[in-house]
Amino acid sequence: MAARRGPAAGPAARIARAGVLALGAALAPGCGDGESPTTPPATGGGPPPTVPTPDPGPAPVPVCDRTPEVRDGILALLSTNDCAAVTAADLQDLSARLNLRNQGIEALQAGDFTGLASLFGLDLGHNRLGSLPAGIFAGLASLAELNLADNALRALPADLFDDLGDLQFLSLGGNPLGSVPSGFFDGLDKLQGVDLGRASLNTLPPDLFRQLPLTDLNLSGNSLNALPAGLLASQPDLQELDLAENRLSELPAGAFNGLRRLWRLYLQGNELTGLPPGVFADLDRLEFLHLERNRLATLPAGVFGGLGRLRYLRLQRNELAALPAGVFVGLARLWLLWLDENPGAPFELPLGIEELSRSGSTATLRVELVSGAPFEMPVELSATNATLSASRVTIPAGAARSEEFTAAGAGGSWSVRASGPESRPNRPLAGVDGDYRGLAVAGAVFRPR
């Protein structure tokens, strides 16, 4: 008998769905072969016959006869070594996760999971399953988590999800499925998380996820070269979307419209050459945006506008030669920005000193940064033949201007110099809180006219 295992790790995607327990006659506790597990319909005009309370007996599909790994997993959950003593009632009351992960299972047999009406998690990941028997999950009406990732499944039975009415998380990643038909998830009305990563997918039906209340969707590691328009149109609750490591060369306009709860978006490792204007406009809760390892040569003006919560922005290893004006305006919470390994890196952020007013030999000034400050930028001030009201000012993160300061000339020619954080090759900028790479802040000199 296998040793007791801890709870299985949750599948990469989660699914919920309301359904009805549909154990057949062979699965009902206390019923012999051919007997009905429910009250028979009344006949004639008389009252229905009285049905005695069934006496739970041995499972109709004996635990001893199940696939050895399944048998041992069930016995471990029941804390017994005697498979012959396990009753249908024991199975029906088993509310737990059954962890069969990485057991080397090559095949399952019909009836392996019969009677487990209260089972809420089943992990079959990292095995060698090439196919599944029809009806293999029949009766698992309480199942909320199902992990079938990293097997060798090329096709799935048409009835696979028929009884999985409470399924919330489904992982099919790492199987060579090749395609997923329209209607594949029909009836999974509570499905919240889907993992279809590394599933050899080339295309997706536009309505594949229609009506699903998804919060997590993994489509990474496939061969998708386009996203169907409207694929995500009915997903207002989506929080994490992984499209990394595909072959996407462009994104449709409005690809992410309506995804106002999205906070992680992975697009790295594709072939994107550009981004549609406003493509991220609705993503005001986004915190993580991965665009590294694409072919981006330019960025649209205002492409990150509205992403006030963005904390991680990775753009390294693209083909960017320049950054648009105002590219960082509004990014008030950015903590990590990687722009290294682009043709234009390190990208120069030129400071400027703007004169606001002058009274005699005293000028009111402020430091400006046309690109916007990707972080709270300290600016050191120094003067020649002038007295400054401050030796340092700050351009707030996401802003383009510092607070005001004054410079009083001492007579004759005078000047003010502004300098930002020191850039270091292949390392983060010095003297700032965060990780900012591929940038160089260029100083400025002001000389009154």
pLDDT digits (tens, 9 = 90+) for 159-207: 999 999 899 999 999 999 999 999 999 989 999 999 999 999 999 999 9
Question: Which backbone phi and psi does 99 adopt, to 5 degrees?
Answer: -100, 105
**Bond prior to 346 in cis (omega within 30° of 0):** yes
The C-alpha atoms of residue 1 and residue 166 are separated, in whole angstroms, by 30
Question: Residues 284, 192, 315, 300: is their CA dihedral positive or negative?
Answer: negative
Q: In whole angstroms, what is the distance from residue 436 CA to residue 427 CA?
A: 8
Look at residue 205 and tell me if it is in a domain. no
Q: At residue 401, what is the residue type?
A: R
- Tell me which of 147, 169, 200 is where a domain ends: 200
pLDDT above 70 as % of the chain: 87
- pTM attached to this predicted model: 0.84
**Sequential DSSP letters for 167-197:** --EEE-TTS------TTTTTT-TT--EEE-T
- What's the full length of the chain, in residues? 449
Q: Within this chain, do residues 365 and 326 fall inside the same structural domain, yes or no?
A: no
What is the percent of the chain with per-residue pLDDT over 90, rounded to a whole number?
81
Whether residue 319 sits in one domain with residue 428: no
Rounded-to-10 torsion of CA 92, 93, 97, 99: -60
The token pair that represents 7 in the structure block:
């709870």
Digit-coded pLDDT (tens) for 48-70: 455 443 333 334 589 999 999 99
Same domain? For 353 and 339 the reply is no
Q: How many domains does the chain have?
A: 3
User: Looking at the structure, do residues 303 and 367 belong to the same domain, yes or no?
Assistant: no
Give the C-alpha separation, 234 to 257, whole Å. Answer: 10
In a domain, 362, yes or no: yes
- Please tell me whether residues 187 and 254 are part of one structural domain: no
* pLDDT for res 257: 95
- Type and span of the H or E element at 217: strand 216-218
Say how far apart CA 90 and CA 431 lie, in whole Å: 63
Together in a domain, 169 and 264: no
- 420 plus 436 within the same structural domain: yes
- Going by C-beta distance under 8 Å and a sequence separation of 6 or more, which residues neighbour residue 183? none
Token output for 203: 């295309």
Residue 275: partners with Cβ closer than 8 Å, 6 or more residues away? 251, 296, 299, 300, 303
Domain span including residue 297: 215-345
Same domain? 169 vs 243? no
Question: What CA–CA distance (Å, rounded) separates 339 from 414?
Answer: 37
Same domain for 246 and 171:
no
C-beta separation of 60 from 26 below 8 A: yes
- 8 Å CB contact between 6 and 166: no
| Mean pLDDT for the stretch of residues 274-296 | 97
Quick one: 20 and 111 in the same domain?
A: yes
Q: What is the pLDDT of residue 337?
A: 96
Does residue 241 sit in the same domain as residue 174?
no
Question: Are 107 and 9 in a shared domain?
Answer: yes
331, part of any domain: yes
Residue 449: predicted pLDDT: 85
117-162 confidence digits (pLDDT tens): 999 999 999 999 999 999 999 999 999 999 999 999 999 999 999 9
In a domain, 208, yes or no: no
Give the residue among 203, 133, 204, 144 at the shortest CA–CA distance from 171: 144
Contact 355, 363 (CB under 8 A): yes
* 63-96 CB burial, b ≥16 within 10 A, e <16: beebbebbbbbbbbbbeeeebeebbbbbbbebeb
Report how far residue 300's alpha carbon sits from residue 323's, in angstroms, rounded to the nearest whole number.
Answer: 9
In this predicted structure, which of 26-30, 271-275, 345-349, 443-447 has the lowest mean pLDDT? 26-30
Give the C-alpha separation, 441 to 385, whole Å. 25
Whether 25 shows a pLDDT value over 90: the answer reads: no
Out of 306, 324, 345, a domain closes at 345
Asked if the structure places residue 40 within a domain, the reply is: no
Contact assessment for residue 167 and residue 10, using Cβ atoms and an 8 Å cutoff: no
CATH number at residue 372: 2.60.40
Looking at residue 27, its pLDDT comes to 25
Whether residue 23 has pLDDT greater than 60:
no
The whole-angstrom separation of Cα 385 and Cα 232 is 62
pLDDT level of residue 429 (50, 70, 90 thresholds): confident
